[in-house]
Structure 1
Amino acid sequence: MIPDSSRDPHPTDQAADARLLILTVVLIGVFFAFGATAQSMLVHGVPAPRLGGHALGPVAEATLRASINLLTVGIIALGAAWMRIIDRPLWIAAACALLVSVVAATVRGALQLTFDVHPVEKPLDTLHDAITLVPVSLAVLGTGVAIVALSRRARSADRERHAAAIRAAEALDELQQEEIRVRREVADTLHGTLQNRFVMLAASLAESGAQLDSGVDAAESRVVAERVRAVRAELEELRERELRALSAALYPEALDLGLVPAARALMARIPPSIPVHVSVNEVPVPDPLDRTSRLLLVRAIEEGVSNALRHGEASELALRLEGSDGRILAEVRHLGAAPVDNPELSGLARLGGRISDRGGELILQSKPDGAALRAWLPAGTGAPA
């Protein structure tokens, strides 16, 4: 017998398992009950029981023998369910099954003696039947427990498949929401900041062109030239900062080269006024992560840097990349203000959920002199890319 005691089933599942055990034991036991009745009457030719000094007829004898055997089957089934042998460790379940079998054999023997199925003067026949019943009962109970264990495994596998389907659907929804968020951010930047600045630059160029068309003297020419140089400088700033930021929002720089190059490129954009320390330990280039996992760790680093600069009043930043124990860790540590208690982590919560779906973890830890955002993922989450 192999009872599945590795989990604590829900009460509803326990009731269903108990019903399945009773049904299995009864069905198999009924087969043995009628088989034992036929064997006693037709094969072994045991003398018919006598009631009131008269031998019973074949129908009455079969009814009496079958009734005793069926009652024994009921005792075995109900006893096993009452003692919950399917929810106990193996050795305890075996002891309980043996106890139920001995009790059932004893009751059967007492009924056989009471109704003269075995004459009182031949107690060895009753003992022989009782001894024979015990292994048969154990075999029936073992079969019942095995069927319940298979049912539990099937139920657990079905629920795991269902849970996996739900997690996959949630992960897909999170991915879609993240894509929508990035698209909205890019659209807002294009239609807001960039569009406004381009409009202003176009107006400045138009004004300069109008001045040139109307003719200018040397002093005015210098003013127009200075204005054109300012427009050129602002265009260069837009290219270097805004367009690079948009490109990084859509796809981080150097991501295809590996986590380390992408992280270094990200940290290189931090203003020089804030000291940055980067340490890398046992993270190969290229790394064994797939693009999705690599992107998640880069996003975690971005969140850590962004939160440190916006909310943590960071005076110093440190990035640690480490590969050990079959996983890759990215930690952003800042010196500055510690996070408030129970902060609203909407962005981090979404990112943490996506990391968790891939078998990793995202943790925000408060430190006396700042905070640390740690994210890790299994190193073998996909084919290297």
Structure 2
Amino acid sequence: MKKFKFWLLGLLIPATLFAGVVYYGSGEAVFLVDQIKMNLGFTTTYTADEAYLKGTVRGENFIGGINNYITNSGFEINADGWNGYKDAADERPVDGTGGSSDLSFFGNLITPLRGTKDFRASLPASSPAPNNQGNGFSYDFKIDQADLAKVLRISFDYTSTSDEDLFRVYIYDIDNSQLIEPVPTEILAGAKLWQGEFQTSADGDDYRLIIHVQSTDTGGHTAYFDNFFVGPQEIANGPIITEWVDGVGYSVANVSAGTIIVKERQVAENIEVDGYIPITSGATGNIELTVPKAMTNSYTGGNYPWYVKAEFYDNSTGETYVGSGFFNNDTNKIVFTGPSNSIWNATVPVVAVSGDQIQFHLNYPAEGFEGSAQLALVTLGRGIYELRVIQMLIKLGLL
């Protein structure tokens, strides 16, 4: 029988225990605990401890390795954890809890934003107050110790029937009784995806996500939310690669030429250049190309042929001479060379005449170019499925 090995405990547990166990996403009614217990012949009636474990190992929290503190992020089953509130009528909430909310919210099955259901919040056209300002809904969550004094990301899908900016997003530090304004706070009308971030405190691990009605609009509106996320993030860095653009500031000396055509782009700390020099009359000395972006000083003063590739096309014979080049003891000036580093000049590779061409390709480290930049925000995975399952089995008395 195929075995599933727990390296942490050094135990062998039959793989049949995990038959049918998959990492379910938001909206699946089957949890890891359910499936494992069914495989063992247990019922799916939970003790308090088992109910806790059911919440911690359900795939919705860790789908794709993402650590999401909003465990009921998609409202696919119910609205557990979400609570309406009514604070004082103000653009900012007090603490996002308490009072009797004038809003009504429930799971919406009609063309949801994601999955089979999303969260529908209805703002009445009339309410006990002149408008709906001060109402809202919130979700309490606890963060890991590793995320104290860290920047966490917030995101969710959103749409509404209003062209007004109805809501703002806030975080409440429950332990320190402190209202936190994420950056940004406003949910702009017409937004499809809202993203923001906030800084956690060094000593508070209990927080509340607040969606607050800041608008004084008296019309009745409906808003839809889905796919809530609050969790850690890391910066994904990568090389800077820009689009090709027209190059300017290139010139050639000691040979007459027409308009030099250049395309250039940045690739990490290098500049990559493709160019074409149409010769209109013979050379009078070493053919020298001036580039506007200087080579990094540490690389000058030598022959670095891998930075420069060139071809001289003899229009009268149709022959092409392949060469290279180097920065001629100057960070902005390049000379072209042929075999044995013979510099192209009045007679090398041939006597240049009108109609001849030089095509060149440059790829060299340029001053002032950074090699990498922030490309995206990536949520941090925790990879703790195995540990959670072990904890669950211990709770069930199976280990």
Q: TM-score, normalised by structure 1?
A: 0.21
- Higher helix share goes to which structure? 1
Q: Which has the higher contact order (CA 8 A, sep 6+)?
A: 2
Indicate the structure (1 or 2) with the bigger Cα radius of gyration.
1
TM norm structure 2: 0.21
Richer in strand (by share) = 2
